[in-house]
């Protein structure tokens, strides 16, 4: 009789331990897969950022068009999406809030567009500009090598002495349905 009780209590104890272990394993696996996904995303973004060079190539003052060169270091093809904004207030936070955006082919929810802050963290634009529900993005199909990106068609002139005196062009790469910054060109005028 006593032996049966011991056996039953052992079975119960082992079952409880097993259930707890499996639950913990499930939690740990889920946490791990989340961390692995974040790590993979970081890897991808690091690689893309290191692979992308953006520089000023030419400014057509009469046409109000700024031509930027975009180089893919490894020469592979890729698709970027870019956001162009100008504003008098030149921090990225200030520019996004109420800046003049170049019209875009896509209107993307600002919570899905991530930019890099001065501390090096990716944050969604919606966190920087809560009033901004969508932002206009344009695709740039890059054939590899050195491609030209023409930024114009602003509602106000790119050139001084018109009101906006800074311009930011941010390149994004798309991962899933989200857009992450991988390059930025910034220009200010005195």
Which residues of the chain form contacts with another protein (CB under 8 A)? Answer: 6, 9-10, 13-14, 17-18, 21, 24-25, 28, 32, 35-36, 39, 42-43, 46-47, 49-51, 53, 55, 57-58, 60, 62-63, 65, 67, 69, 71, 73-74, 145-146, 148
With a CB cutoff of 8 Å and minimum separation 6, the contacts of 137 are: 81, 82, 83, 104, 105, 106, 107, 108, 113, 172, 179
Of the pair 14, 156, the CB lying nearest another protein is at 14
Give the shortest CB-171-to-another protein separation in angstroms.
14
Give the shortest CB-21-to-another protein separation in angstroms.
4
- In Å, how far are 115, 125, 181 from 120, measured between CA atoms? 9, 14, 11
Tokens describing residue 152: 């114009």
Phi-psi region of 145 (alpha: psi -120 to 50; beta: other; left: phi over 0): left
With a CB cutoff of 8 Å and minimum separation 6, the contacts of 154 are: 64, 84, 86, 100, 102, 164
Q: Which residue has the tokens 């390149």?
A: 171
Give the shortest CB-77-to-another protein separation in angstroms.
15
Of the pair 14, 127, the CB lying nearest another protein is at 14
Give the shortest CB-99-to-another protein separation in angstroms.
25
Of the pair 35, 103, the CB lying nearest another protein is at 35
Give the shortest CB-44-to-another protein separation in angstroms.
8
Of the pair 66, 166, the CB lying nearest another protein is at 66
Of the pair 17, 156, the CB lying nearest another protein is at 17
Q: Is 9 helix (H, G, I), strand (E, B) or coil?
A: helix
């Amino acid at each position: 009789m006593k032996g049966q009780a011991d056996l039953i209590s052992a079975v119960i104890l082992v079952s409880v331990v097993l259930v707890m272990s499996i639950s913990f394993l499930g939690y740990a696996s889920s946490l791990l897969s989340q961390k692995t996904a974040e790590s993979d995303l970081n890897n991808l973004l690091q690689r893309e950022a290191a692979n992308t060079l953006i520089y000023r190539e030419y400014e057509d003052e009469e046409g109000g068009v700024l031509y930027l060169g975009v180089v893919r270091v490894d020469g592979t093809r890729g698709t970027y999406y870019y956001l162009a904004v100008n504003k008098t207030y030149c921090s990225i936070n200030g520019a996004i809030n109420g800046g003049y955006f170049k019209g875009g082919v896509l209107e993307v929810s600002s919570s899905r567009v991530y930019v890099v802050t001065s501390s090096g963290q990716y944050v969604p634009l919606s966190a920087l500009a809560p009033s901004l529900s969508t932002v206009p993005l344009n695709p740039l199909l890059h054939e590899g090598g050195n491609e030209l990106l023409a930024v114009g068609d602003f509602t106000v002139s790119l050139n001084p002495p018109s009101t906006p005196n800074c311009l930011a062009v941010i390149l994004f790469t798309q991962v899933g349905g989200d857009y992450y910054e991988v390059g930025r060109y910034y220009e200010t005028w005195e």
